Structures are given as C-alpha cells and as structure tokens.
Amino acid sequence: AQSVTQLDSHVSVSEGTPVLLRCNYSSSYSPSLFWYVQHPNKGLQLLLKYTSAATLVKGINGFEAEFKKSETSFHLTKPSAHMSDAAEYFCVVGGGYQKVTFGTGTKLQVIP
C-alpha cells in the first residue's frame, strides 16, 4: 500500500521569498516520487521526479526537492518565489508499473 500526504492545503508567500511545499509519503517498496504543477484551467506539468538516483532533485523553473528516506519526505522548495509560480502543486508516488497515488494538492499564492 502507498499514500501521500501534502501537509498544507494552502501556502501563501511574498514574491522573492522562499517557497516550501511539504509532502510525506508511505510506500512498502522503494518509491518513485514526483511533483506536478497545475496552473488555473490547465493540465498537469511535471516539475521534477525522484527515481532512486540523487536524493536532491532539480526540476524546472528553479524548483528542487530532497528525498529523505528517514523522514519519508519529499518537500518541494524554491529559493525565490515568482508571481508565475502561483498554481496548485501535487506530490505523487508511483509510476511505470507502480500504482500512482496523488496527494490532495497545495495551492500556492504569491503576494506581490
């Protein structure tokens, strides 16, 4: 069995300040983990993925995430928020042959 918990349904940051979106997972095997972004009225776009190589994963648009097995976490970070980052973000476990499970999403608001 596997599950994903996104710890915040809404996060609000000021433009230019750091972003932290938290994700915890549980999986009975070595997980594949992803972050997707969904802009309003758009589909889902892959930000980054972890597949048991480097634990610090760099994605598009300056985002990165660190896989911490001891904490079962895969938090998404960005050093400096931009207005265009305002969107909903989904943490996902699974992929390929594995069942895919989505978190419930975190809406990021960026304040000018």
Partner 1 sequence: EAQVTQNPRYLITVTGKKLTVTCSQNMNHEYMSWYRQDPGLGLRQIYYSMNVEVTDKGDVPEGYKVSRKEKRNFPLILESPSPNQTSLYFCASSAVLTGGTEAFFGQGTRLTVV
Taking the complex as a whole, the smallest distance from the CB of residue 87 to partner 1 amounts, in Å, to: 14
Q: Which of 14/61 has CB closer to partner 1?
A: 61
- Sorted by sequence, the CB contacts under 8 Å of residue 50 that are 6+ apart come out as 31, 32, 33, 34, 57, 65, 67, 74
Taking the complex as a whole, the smallest distance from the CB of residue 24 to partner 1 amounts, in Å, to: 14
Q: Which of 56/97 has CB closer to partner 1?
A: 97
Does 51 contact partner 1 by CB under 8 A? Answer: yes
Q: Which of 19/48 has CB closer to partner 1?
A: 48
Stretch that binds partner 1, among 15-23, 44-52, 56-64, 71-79 (CB under 8 A): 44-52
- Give the burial class of 111: count Cβ atoms within 10 A of its Cβ; 0-12 exposed, 13-18 middle, 19 or more buried: exposed
Taking the complex as a whole, the smallest distance from the CB of residue 38 to partner 1 amounts, in Å, to: 8
Does 42 contact partner 1 by CB under 8 A? Answer: yes
Binding site for partner 1 (CB under 8 A): 9, 30-32, 34, 36, 42-46, 49-52, 90, 94-100, 102-105
